[in-house]
Chains A and B, each alone.
Chain A
Amino acid sequence: MSGPAHESTAQQLDPLGTLSGRRLAIVGSSLALLYAVVITAREFRDLVHPVAATLALLALAAACLALVLGGDPRFAPFTRRRMAFVLTAALAAHLLSAYATWRHNDFVRDDWGPVAVGVLLLAFAPFRPWAEILRSGVIAAVVVAALTVVQLPYFVTAAPPLVLVSAAMAPVLGMTVASATFCRALVGSVKEWDGRAARAREADVGRVREGMARSVQQDRVTILNRDVLPFLAEVLDRDSITEDDHERARSISDSIRGVMISEAGRSWLEDLLLQHRQEAMLAGIAQDPPVSDPHKVAEFMDLEQRAALRALLDDLLRTPALQRGTLAIRLTSTGSRCDAEVSAVLRMSRHRTRCLISPYLAVFRTAFDAVRVERIDTELVLRFSYARH
């Protein structure tokens, strides 16, 4: 795998299944922000530091925005750094909101900070490993508990301190546990399925192996039957070598080498698009070879990358909106990196193009580096890169 570093996250193991992760991020962020705004508005007259309250809302808004943008499949994967930023901004918002009601915070249950932090931790579930979510949740809970302990003298309720601390920590810990266990269960399911699917695929390939070997062998024997075998049989029958045999041996050898060179020079990608090119030519559409790979770097894609690209090309080729003969792939190499560009003219609206391409973008984001997509008029251009091993 030469794409981004792989982690045990639902997003990386099942990029298609976690397309809804962004919705979760949007829903969670909206609810957290709405809750914070409502509580702040309700308590506004009692605020000691309104500026701090406003800054707290702004910090929370920044955390929510980072979560929503980071959860977009176009910017996947959701990195640890993004998670740290979101969590730090949310905890800063909680600290500012506590400062805004300093010494006048009567009830710990009125604080929106722990709820907002908890909801954001919940929204990390599709994006980060479960152990990391758990660690982050515990750290956040400790921060919330410490802030509650500092405020204990100012609460008007006479409840035991441990109960008040527990009330403050409960939203954070509850949603952390939910987030981490969800992530662990889903990742476990996906890994188990992947193992089963890989074994089934292997068995499947094993079943067709013998037939395929015969087919490949037959292709070779057919080529040999034309010139080589009759020639060798003739030499054996005659039991002698003539001048003419020298010339025939060289000529047949050159012809076989020619076939072998053209086969060896054709990449799996060219094989994949061979049919598309033939169809375009049959339809009378002149097209340059659809694959330009002067450095022969298509071979450096691993199985997952090839499968992702194959699936996208399959879907594009089956789309009636694809203008025949316009699908092209350019592969170049600079140092240890390979850059790829897939372009095609699609006669469909931008919205439909986005619907077609966005699930693949989620997959490409986990399989390749530097994935970018743009639409110039009707032309779709997808760029990505991968390591040259």
Chain B
Amino acid sequence: MALGLPNHLARSRVNDAIAVACHASALLCLATAVVCIGVVQFDYPALLLWPSFLALGVMAVVLILLAANRSLFWSVAYLATGAASTFWYAGMLLNQLGPATANNSYLLTLPKLALVLCAGAAVTSFGAIGWVAAGYAAAEAAVLFAHLQSHTPGSLDFASTAVAVLLAAVLSAVAQGRRRSQRVRPTMHRAAREESVAAMRNRLEQRAAALLHDTVLSQLAALAAAPTGPLPAATRRSIERDLQLLVGEDWLIEPETIPVRAEDADLPPVFERSIDDSRRDGLTVDLAGELTLLATLGPEVAHELALAMRQCLVNVARHSGTDRAEVVVFGGVGELTVMVIDGGRGFREESVPRDRFGLRQSVRGRIERVGGSVHIWSTLGEGTSVLLQVPVAESAAVEKPSPDAPGGSRRSAS
């Protein structure tokens, strides 16, 4: 999520970016000066202009050092060597080309611009403007002395003055604009944090609601429908197990810590428990497909998928009118699919009352929370297929089991 820089970083990061821009442009000015002087030297071989390359080279080296380490030392060093180099460069040009004309004044301007764009070490925007002023003064002084030394007339350089004014205006505008955003930034960052926490609480509450449905509401429904008389042993065990889970454990913290009874090594324990519970409900569950792929799921996805599958099997046992269901597992690129199929009486999803949470919370809610999707095909009188798709890590998705691998066979449990 892009919230931008916090207040304590905004100023320094923007000033750093301005400095990078200034140094890149200054380097371009020096490179252009080298090219132009080279062209003039080539066109007029009698002139002695090539030593000015040395002045530009020294200036470029110190500029690169300043760009790499924007300290007070290198800032001052750049201004000092830059002013000396510009003096040497300008003196050579004025001595060789004569008084500044519309032509060679451009060549004189290039190193001056490189000095104006020194962007020395500064904490505040006004400090940065100070460096602009210092660079401008150093550049103008260097060229003025060159004029005096070569006895040529000098005048105010419009280009370097304009660049100095423009840069100062940009720095000032940035400083002004920053004040407007300072008030709101902390509110935005606080809101983002609160939103992350709220999203997590919401996920936990949904998980709690789904668990509540699977345990308490399921037990209450079983008791409401049970015949009067002695409590059946299976119902007793189921109630005791749920009571132990709800009261005695941190059931929301670590999904994989829920105790499971692993009787079949082919299935991860969390799935084994779901199948085991359905078997106790009197359901015959046929398992087919690439069952070993279930072991490649992360703990949270595996936990939610197993509970969603369990709820599908509960629905089969409770509503379909059949005592047999089939669970098929197959993998795809980046996803794993579990299909729960029954040949029961079928239903229409839109006719499920709003206060029934089984499909909505315990199946759809769970799978969507881990980034998956649920598709239901049901025909009245012919049965129901529920397709649960969950994402898997790419490395896991491509590791398909070999045909001989255990779990690739078809098994039946009842």
Contact = CB atoms under 8 A, between A and B. Distances in A.
Interface of A: 12-24, 26-28, 31, 35, 106-107, 109-110, 115, 119, 122, 125, 157-160, 162-163, 166-167, 170, 173-175, 177-179, 181-186, 189-190, 193-194, 197-198, 201-202, 204-205, 208-210, 212-214, 216-217, 219-221, 224, 228-229, 232-233, 235-236, 238-243, 245-246, 249-250, 252-253, 256-258, 260-261, 263-264, 268, 271-272, 303-304, 306-308, 310-311, 314-315, 355, 358-360, 363, 366
A164 B21 CA distance: 25
B17 A182 contact: yes
Contacts of B36: 162-163, 166
Contact of B183 (A212, A258, A268, A359): A359
Interface in B159-185: 159, 162, 165-166, 169-170, 173-178, 180-181, 183-185
A120 B253 CA distance: 56
Contact of B191 (A186, A243, A314): A314
Contact of B195 (A35, A107, A261, A303): A303
Interface of B: 1-6, 9-10, 13-14, 16-18, 20-22, 24-25, 28-29, 32, 35-36, 39-40, 43, 101-107, 110, 113, 159, 162, 165-166, 169-170, 173-178, 180-181, 183-185, 187-202, 204-205, 208-209, 212-213, 216-217, 219-221, 223-231, 236, 239-240, 243, 246-247, 250-253, 354-355, 357, 360-361
A302 to B, nearest CB: 8
A115 B166 CA distance: 11
A376 B261 CA distance: 66
B21 A179 contact: yes
B201 A314 contact: no
Contacts of A304: 1-2
B223 A163 contact: no
Contacts of A160: 39-40, 43
Contact of A235 (B28, B199, B223): B223
A68 B247 CA distance: 64
A16 B181 contact: yes
Q: Main SS of chain A's interface residues?
A: helix
Contacts of A175: 25
Contacts of B355: 257-258, 260-261
A122 B315 CA distance: 65
A173 B22 CA distance: 13
A253 B159 CA distance: 83
B184 A16 contact: yes
Contacts of A258: 355
Contact of A15 (B4, B192, B199, B361): B4
Contact of A201 (B16, B20, B192, B250): B192
A216 B208 contact: yes
25 contacts: A15-B4, A17-B4, A19-B181, A23-B173, A24-B173, A26-B173, A28-B166, A119-B166, A122-B166, A157-B101, A163-B36, A177-B24, A178-B25, A182-B21, A190-B4, A193-B13, A224-B246, A228-B220, A239-B236, A264-B209, A303-B196, A307-B192, A310-B194, A314-B190, A359-B183
Nearest to A192: B13
A246 B208 CA distance: 25
A27 B181 contact: no
A242 B162 CA distance: 95
Contacts of A185: 16-17, 20-21
A278 to B, nearest CB: 18
A324 B206 CA distance: 32
